[in-house]
Amino acid sequence: MAPPTETGVRTLFDANRLLVLILGLPVLAGMAGIALPAFGYLPALGESQFTLDHFAELSGQPHILRSTLTGLAAGLATTSISIAIVGTFLAGFAGTPVFSRIQHLVSPLLAVPHAAVAFALAFLIAPSGLLLRLISPELTGFARPPQWLVPNDPLALSMIAGLVAKEIPFLFLVALAALPQLPLRQSRQLTAALGHGHVSGFFVTLWPALYRQIRLAVLAVLVYSVSVVDVAIILGPQLPATLPVRIALWTADHELSARFLASAAALLQLAVVAVAIASWFLMERLGKIALARMTASGRRIRNDTLLRLASAIAMAATAVLTFLGLAALGLWSIAGLWPFPNNVPTHFTPQTWLRSMPQLGPPLRTTVALAISAASLALLIAIMLLNRNGAAGGGGKAIAYKSLYLPLLLPEISFVFGLKILIIAAGFEPAFATVLAAHLLFVLPYVLLSLSSPWRTLDPRFERIAAGFGKSPLRILITVRLPMLLRACLTAFAVGFSVSVSLYLPTLLIGAGRLTTIATESVALASGGDRRVIGVYALVQALLPFLAFLVASLGPQLLFRNRRAMRT
Amino acid sequence: MIGWAVKIAAALLLACGIAGGAVAADPGNWDKVVAEAKGQTVYFNAWGGSESINAYIRWAGEEMKARYGVSVVHVKLDDTAKAVATVVAEKSAGKDDGGSVDLIWINGENFAAMKRQNLLFGPDWATRLPNWRYVDFETRPTVLADFTIPTEGLESPWGGAKLVFFYDSARTEAKALPDSAEELLTWAKANPGRFSYPQPPDFIGSSFLKQVLIELTDDRGKLQKPVDEESFAADAAPLFAYLDRLKPFLWRQGKAFPQNYPDMKQKLADGELDIIFAFNPAEASSAIANGELPETVRSFVFSGGTLGNTHFLAIPYNATAKAGALLFADFLLSPEAQLRKQDPKIWGDPTVLSLDKLPAADRSAFESLDLGVATLRPNELGPALDEPHPSWMTRIEAAWIRRYGAPN
């Protein structure tokens, strides 16, 4: 669809440039906000001498190398495992009935916040967790919890598991969106005729094109898991913690020098992310060579039943374990005394909920207010941008839309901390508006990603007819396009809402304790150890996005009671 | 034009009045404090890791609203150092009034740091609070010297604390319980994996290190003075030799540590740990009442004494609602609030008031308080060991992290 008119003003405020402005400026400002203090320059604290002392101090921190490497390795492992499982499953099952069944099982997981998934997993796999309780003492002989070091194991395995459980649904749904653009059926027929099994046939023919489409999302997963803080606090190693967690601690240190140290470390984290991306590129290259070898060799893996089965089990297990974990959270939230190895509590009590209710109120209100504001604002901006430019993916314009990924491809601990320093230096209070602005940075990309595909696929003839009736572009937008895209808009809103609900670090750093949300409260409780209260908070956090999606799916039904065709 | 000028002048006057009022909060003129406080919002920065404490603070806030028209907002911290960091940041940004922290729950190294950097509201306001007259500073020297640092009325006492150990009498024999750090090591050898301490710099974990240090040092007087860098390694050697011997018998062989007291409490309930400890003698009874620990849990102390201290409330120098903060600190010191705080069904934190100084009705209310089945009577708590100078805690924590921060 061509833009209605082309004027000088329009090109000046070209949507791509606007997007770069909205997302790029704060991110780059944030990077500057840590780069200068890292080298000792922070006039607000009376330091304007450039120095490398803070990097020397950083390198003198105990076990800093181990912290850095653990986080890096965990991120690379998470991304490799997630993409391997999702890729194999797509290859093995795309277009089959099993596929849609697993799709229905996995899709809701996307809405569950990272922290809630991490808690769910922790409640399952701990030595005193639900899984061992279910089989003890009958199968294991354990009358008391065994001395196993999970979660929080030094190799970060439980943290990787928690991240994989959350990234699989994300990568899966991103790939799902790209799948219709591939000639799946034809390729399946062709490769089957050539004697390939499902998996090898898919990888030889379709994988390169599919991977190209989801590559940015994969990199976003990589950057996120290398830099994650909340999941690392809940499931990650503690002796020493990963680098991002330690940076988060330093940002809160009461010694002034720690702010410089944190800046230097945040810059180090940026370097870690760069190394991670470089390693990933290398792995991509190796993968490409291997795939080319396999293709050229003509080897056909006919019998891939085991491989397919394994990938399907892995996909299903992610969903089942997460839901089982959420059930465990629910059970603990109403548990009285629950000694090991009992499968269920000795008695149930609403006491934890009743006691938590009043405390839950203010952060819950803040969470919902932030999420609604951020999602609405993001939706408005997304509609504005899309309306100016048409959808992403249209030829050369698509490239500039990659700035969407900017906040997702840089470590948030780095640039959000930089923003915090700038905000303090500028004398702003930690307030709703500043936290909202920080949320928008993360919410907008997802809202835009979610909305741009339906925006693009809407049949342009509806609007042409309206234009033929002499309606103005704005009128066409409001009376034709938006009502027809209502469901897509509501879904994008729900996506934005759930992203905002799950944001931990931006809320913690920019809100500075003044603005608490369910996310910051629940992660703060992670060290508190009271499973009942954690159960309440994590459950509330997990339920909020579901409510948003429920509203999104019911909205059209209510609004278009009298227009059946509009309800889909 | 004139109308505008008048409006601006009025606004300026108003602004000065408010700002002036905040600075002038004077505990000597209590009626004025009460009047000024009305309508203020007190941002109370306090550790938020315990639901029962949070509930108590919420109750106190509701009372403040109802009685004095003061709103209290509990800013829940996982580490008090964060509130100190906020004030430091505000001071460095030149924000000398209108600060975002009005009252901090504080003691030890955080108090020492704030006092050293002149970040506290003063001079002496705590001893001029109306309810100070009930405070027991005679038999509780820690009310006047917080980790050896003279309080000088810059912080108001809120509660007492004493290191107390808990065990489940259904699992662990009372006869076998240790009576000193040395015996604790022996017990851990006999029961590997069933004891641990929260990972320093957690407050309770660091307190355990100090308990061991005090017991093993040959010169306790040294601990009352700042760390002597020259001899620190030698002074701390007995502590780390002890910890080295203890490590293989700790929970998870010392490859991981509980994160704090509530974490240990959960692990006692789960059967992962057999002996845990807290700084609040009534913790076990509270936990039993809340269904978090089985009814068979009991307390014990070392007959040679355990660490004891006092925790306080302090007002930052740049607090916005100083009058409100004074009023709130005084309310929290009142016999009514202290009685409620000591009730194990509510929180169970020991009072800082002297029962002898209280009016008869209040005294009998305290005396008839049911401390709970697992709580030791005041006369069973044993001697209190003095906190070392805060510099010891800082240095020991750093040395601990360097030594045990990465398991192999």
CA distance A414 to chain B (A): 19
Task: Give per-residue burial for A146-157: e unless 16+ CB within 10 Å, then b.
Answer: eeebbbbbbebb
CB contact under 8 A, A525 and B89: no
Of the candidates A254, A338, A355, the beta carbon closest to that of B85 is on: A254
Beta-carbon separation of A527 and B272 below 8 A: no
Strands (E), A411-563: none
Name chain A contacts of B290, Cβ cutoff 8 Å: 351
Residue to test with chain B: of A148, A234, A527, most B Cβ within 10 A: A527
Q: Quote the CA–CA distance of B144 and B312 in Å, as a whole number.
A: 11
C-beta of residue B204 within 8 angstroms of C-beta of residue B164: no
pLDDT above 70 for A529: no
B318: closest CA among B145, B60, B35, B98?
B98
pLDDT, residue B232, reads 95
Residue A128 has pLDDT above 70, yes or no: yes
E-assigned strand segments in B230-340: 275-278, 297-300, 306-314
Phi, psi values for residue B305, rounded to 5°: 110, 150
Compare B50 and A354 and report the one with higher pLDDT. Answer: A354
Alpha carbons B192 and B274: distance in angstroms, whole number: 10
CA-nearest residue to A149 within chain B is B252
Q: Rounded to an integer, what distance in angstroms lies between the CA atom of residue B22 and that of residue B318? A: 9
**CB nearest to B262's CB, from A127, A239, A530:** A530
Most confident of A382-396, A429-443, B18-32: A429-443
Residues 6+ apart with CB under 8 A from A566: A483, A484, A486, A556, A560
Residues of B in contact with A149 (CB under 8 A): 252, 255-256
Which residue of chain B has the CA closest to A522? Answer: B49
Name the pLDDT band for A401 (thresholds 50, 70, 90): low
Residue of A nearest to B54 (CA): A359
Q: What pLDDT was estimated at residue B318?
A: 94
Q: Which two tokens stand for residue A46?
A: 């009376």
- Which residues of chain A are within 8 Å of residue B271 when distances are taken between CB atoms? 128, 143-145, 339-340
For residue B255, give the nearest of A154, A425, A527 by CB distance: A154
Mean pLDDT in residue range A25-41: 90
Q: By C-alpha distance, which of A211, A230, A119 is closest to A171? A: A211
CA-to-CA distance for A543 and A116, rounded, in angstroms?
Answer: 10
pLDDT score, position A501: 96
pLDDT digits (tens, 9 = 90+) for A403-440: 778 888 999 999 999 998 888 788 787 789 999 999 99
Q: Strands, DSSP E only, in B109-224?
A: 145-146, 149-150, 155-162, 164-168
For residues B22-44, give the mean pLDDT: 87
Q: Are A149 and B404 within 8 A, CB to CB?
A: no
Evaluate if residue B7 carries a pLDDT over 80.
Answer: no
**CA geometry: angle B348, A521, B195, nearest 5 deg:** 55
Test B291 with A347 for CB contact under 8 angstroms: yes
Q: Give chain A positions within 8 Å (CB) of B347.
A: none
C-alpha span between A347 and A300 (Å, rounded) = 58
The CA–CA distances, whole Å, from A282 to A54, A549, B331 equal: 31, 39, 64
* B228-257: average pLDDT: 94
Residue B67 vs residues A366, B54, B134: alpha-carbon distances, Å: 27, 20, 21
Both tokens of A297, joined, read 């060799």
Lateral strand order in the sheet of B275-278: B275-278, B164-168, B297-300
Does residue B17 carry a pLDDT above 60?
Answer: no
Residues of A in contact with B404 (CB under 8 A): 239
The residue that leads in pLDDT, A42 or B210, is: B210
State how far residue A413 is from chain B, nearest Cα, in angstroms.
17
List of chain A residues whose C-beta atoms are within 8 Å of the C-beta of residue B93: 44, 424-425, 427
How many other C-beta atoms can be found within 10 angstroms of the C-beta atom of residue B82? 21
Cα distances from A147 to residues A22, A53, A127, A236, A478, in angstroms, run: 51, 42, 7, 17, 62
**DSSP of A402-454, one letter per residue?**
GGGGHHHHS-HHHHHHHHHHHHHHTT----HHHHHHHHHHHHHHHHHHHHHHH
Specify the amino acid at residue B198: P
CB pairs under 8 A between A and B: 148
B97 SS3 class: coil
Residue of B nearest to A332 (CA): B292
- Pair of tokens at residue A201: 């046939």
Choose among B49, B110, B199: nearest Cβ to A238. Answer: B199
Beta-sheet pairing, B155-162 with B306-314: antiparallel
Contacts of B272 in chain A (CB under 8 A): 127-128, 144-145, 340
Shortest distance between the Cα of A513 and any Cα of chain B, in A, equals 6
ipTM given for this complex: 0.80
> B77 to chain A: which residues are within 8 Å by CB?
513
* Residue in B with minimal Cα distance to A144: B271
Q: A384-419: string of b/e by CB count within 10 Å (b at 16+)?
A: ebbbbbbbbeeeeeeebbebbbbbbbbbbbbbbbbb
- Region A506-525: mean pLDDT is 87
Mean pLDDT of A60-88: 96
Q: Is A335 helix (H, G, I), strand (E, B) or coil?
A: strand
Q: Does the structure show a pLDDT above 70 at B20? A: no
Among B89, B93, B259, beta carbon nearest to A529? B259
Mean predicted lDDT score pLDDT of chain B: 89
B251–A528 C-beta distance less than 8 A: no
What's residue A394's pLDDT?
A: 44
Which residues of chain B are within 8 Å of residue A529 when distances are taken between CB atoms? 258-260, 262-267
Min distance B131 CA to chain A CA atoms (Å): 29
pLDDT confidence of residue B1: 43
Rounded to a whole number, what is the distance in Å from the CA of B382 to chain A's nearest CA?
29
Distance CA A158, CA A162 (A): 6
A387, A3 contact by CB (below 8 A): no
CB contact under 8 A, A528 and B82: no
Give residue for tokens 């795309």.
Answer: A94
Lowest mean pLDDT across A68-72, A181-185, B9-13: B9-13
Quick: pLDDT tens for A235-246. 999 889 999 999
Predicted TM-score (pTM) of the model is: 0.84
Question: Which residues in A lie closer than 8 A to residue B55 (C-beta atoms)?
Answer: 355, 358-359
Higher-scoring residue by pLDDT: A524, B233:
B233
Alpha-carbon distance values, A128 to A135, A156, A485, B322 (Å): 11, 19, 48, 47
Give residue-wise pLDDT tens across range A538-562: 999 999 999 999 988 888 888 888 8
Least confident of A323-327, A404-408, B382-386: A404-408
Taking residues B394-407, report their average pLDDT: 87
Q: What is the pLDDT of residues A463-482, one digit of tens each?
A: 899 999 999 989 999 999 99
Per CB-CB distance under 8 Å, the chain A contacts of B86 are 512-513
**Which of A45, A245, A246, A254 best tests the B interface by mutation, with the highest count of B CBs <10 A?**
A254
C-alpha distances in Å from residue B125, one per residue of A486, A505, B99, B120, B122: 61, 38, 19, 11, 6
Question: Helix H segments across A112-206?
Answer: 114-125, 130-135, 157-178, 184-193, 198-205
Percent of all residues in chain A with a pLDDT value above 70, rounded to a whole number: 93
pLDDT, average across residues B334-352: 91
The minimal CB distance from B270 to the residues A340, A525, A530 is found for: A340
Q: How far is CA A365 from CA A432, A516, B259, in A?
A: 12, 10, 29
- The mean predicted confidence, pLDDT, of chain A is 88
Residue B291 has its nearest CB partner, among A336, A340, A529, at A336
Taking residues A165-182, report their average pLDDT. 92
Q: Which residues of B touch A513 (CB under 8 A)?
A: 45, 75-77, 82-83, 86
Q: Which residue has the tokens 């404490």?
A: B53
Separation in Å, CA of B96 to nearest CA in chain A: 12
Residue of chain A with shortest Cα separation from B84: A254
Residues of B in contact with A253 (CB under 8 A): 81, 85
C-alpha B79/C-alpha B201 separation (Å) is 10
Asked if A128 and B93 come within 8 Å (Cβ–Cβ), the reply is no
pLDDT at A364: 96
Contact B83, B101 (CB under 8 A): yes
Distances (CA, A) of B194 to B136, B247, B377: 38, 12, 27
* Angstroms from B66 CA to nearest CA on chain A: 17
The pLDDT of residue A387 is 85
Residue A327 has pLDDT above 70, yes or no: yes
Residue A42 confidence (pLDDT) above 90: no
Answer whether A337 sits within 8 Å of B292, measured CB to CB: yes
The shortest C-alpha distance from B402 to chain A (Å) reads 6
CA distance A238 to chain B (A): 7
**B128 vs chain A: nearest CA distance in angstroms?**
29
CB–CB contact A528 B260 (8 Å): yes
Q: For residue A357, give the chain B residue with the closest CA.
A: B55
